[in-house]
Each structure stands twice: as structure tokens, then as C-alpha cells.
């Protein structure tokens, strides 16, 4: 046996990593929904409910799905993998916003079909980025942390208690931070607080309505991936990117 072979055979083998069939798909959807929601948040709209005409930002329509994806990630794959996905989403959101800001700053051609409009819409994008980054960081990590802790407390039972419970806390922090940073001084105070209330009720309500779907998807992923993570020894530091 050669010396090279002797050295090689004495090296410890790395533990095999599980083959995750759907993790990348959820990661991509998570980042896409986040970016689309932040672009849509540059427009506010008013909904006529008869007894109430709340104002809301356009990103509210799709954004709650990021929390459902966060629930799936933490419940099935664990907090550590969920943490990496959150950072990936923030990085892609930053890339998108910087690209829009760069394009908005370029000299516009005389025959541009969107002459003047692009700059008007995306001039607000940096503030949206600041608001969404701060809110998303606080809200998503709270959501994942609370869900992981509740899973340990319940022994993995009663999934609805942790999906809804984590959303109540995470979306509460997210909605408050995003709304105040993005729209303070832009919207009248009564409209702003109405926006906060409507956004929060809508996000939590959607989580409740989609709970049966969450149950079905979680069950499917646990069977397909052959895993059901419990974060008993996890470092919950949001700035740690390893396991």
C-alpha cells in the first residue's frame, strides 16, 4: 500500500448529508415571494368593506406566504436550515432593490415607454428595502424561534398551536416595524394605524385559513424527506450560518 493510500484511509469520513428533495424548491419560492411582495409594497390601496375602508400596501396580499414557508422550513428541516433560507431571502431582496435603484438612476431614453414612471415608483424602493429588511429580520426569526420552542414544549403535537402562535408574534413584530419605517410621515396617522391593524388581521387570518393546507404539506414533506426536526441542541443565534 502506498503512503498516499495509508494517509487517505486514516482520514475520518464526513457524515453523509440527507438528500433533501424539496428544500431548494421551498427556498426559491420563499425568496421569490419576498421580492415580489416588496415590489408590490410600493403601492398602497384602499379596500371598501362597507363598515371599514382600510388602506393596505400591495405586498400584504402575498407576503404572508413567507411565514407559511418559514413554518414549513422550521417544522420539517429545523431552525438552522430555516435561518440560512432567511439570510438568502434577505440577500436576494437586497440585490433586487440595488438593481432597481441603479436602473432608476440611469439616464432615460427619449422613447422609453415608461418615461418618468419607473423613477417615480422605485424612488420609494430604498425606504421599502430598509423597512422590509428590518421587519423581516425581526419577524421571521421570531416566527422560527417561537415555532421551534413550541414544538419542543408540545412534543411535536398540535401543529396548529405553533404555526398560529408563532405567526401571532412574528407577524405582529413584522407588521409594526415595516409599517412604521415604510409609511411614517408618508400616510396620515389614522390611515397608518388602520393599515397596521388591517395588515396584521389579514396576515394572521390567512395563516388560520390555510392551516389545513399547512398540515397536509408538512405531512407530505416529512414523509418525502424522511425527517422531522426537533431543535433540542440548536444554537438560536440568528447570525450563525452553520448548524
Place of cell 405531512: 219
pLDDT classification of 99: cutoffs 50, 70, 90: confident
Q: What is the pLDDT of residues 214-225, one digit of tens each?
A: 999 999 999 999
Q: What is the pLDDT of residues 73-97, one digit of tens each?
A: 999 999 999 999 999 998 998 888 8
Q: What is the DSSP letter of 98?
A: H
Q: Using CA atoms, how far apart are residues 39 and 98, in angstroms rounded to an integer?
A: 12
Nearest to 174 by CA among 142, 205, 201: 142
Q: How much is the pTM?
A: 0.82
Q: Using CA atoms, how far apart are residues 154 and 35, in angstroms rounded to an integer?
A: 34
Q: What is the pLDDT of residues 4-25, one digit of tens each?
A: 444 444 444 444 556 788 999 9
CA 14 to chain centre: 32
Are the C-beta atoms of residues 86 and 67 closer than 8 Å to each other? no
Amino acid at each position: 500500500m502506498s503512503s498516499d493510500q495509508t494517509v487517505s484511509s486514516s482520514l475520518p469520513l464526513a457524515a453523509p448529508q440527507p438528500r433533501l428533495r424539496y428544500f431548494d424548491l421551498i427556498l426559491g419560492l420563499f425568496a421569490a415571494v419576498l421580492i415580489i411582495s416588496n415590489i408590490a409594497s410600493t403601492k398602497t390601496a384602499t379596500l371598501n368593506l362597507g363598515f371599514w375602508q382600510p388602506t393596505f400596501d400591495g405586498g400584504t396580499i402575498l407576503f404572508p406566504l413567507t411565514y407559511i414557508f418559514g413554518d414549513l422550513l422550521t417544522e420539517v428541516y429545523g431552525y438552522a436550515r430555516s435561518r440560512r433560507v432567511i439570510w438568502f431571502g434577505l440577500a436576494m431582496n437586497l440585490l433586487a432593490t440595488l438593481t432597481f435603484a441603479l436602473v432608476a438612476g440611469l439616464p432615460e431614453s427619449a422613447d422609453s415607454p415608461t418615461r418618468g414612471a419607473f423613477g417615480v415608483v422605485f424612488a420609494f424602493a430604498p425606504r421599502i428595502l430598509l423597512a422590509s429588511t428590518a421587519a423581516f429580520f425581526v419577524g421571521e426569526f421570531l416566527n422560527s424561534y417561537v415555532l421551534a420552542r413550541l414544538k419542543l414544549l408540545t412534543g411535536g403535537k398540535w401543529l396548529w398551536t405553533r404555526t398560529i402562535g408563532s405567526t401571532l408574534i412574528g407577524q405582529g413584530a413584522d407588521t409594526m416595524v415595516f409599517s412604521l419605517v415604510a409609511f411614517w410621515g408618508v400616510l396620515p396617522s389614522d390611515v397608518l394605524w388602520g393599515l397596521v391593524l388591517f395588515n396584521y388581521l389579514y396576515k394572521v387570518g390567512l395563516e388560520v385559513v390555510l392551516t389545513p393546507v399547512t398540515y397536509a404539506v408538512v405531512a407530505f414533506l416529512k414523509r418525502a424527506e424522511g425527517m422531522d426536526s426537533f431543535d433540542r441542541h440548536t444554537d438560536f443565534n440568528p447570525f450563525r450560518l452553520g448548524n
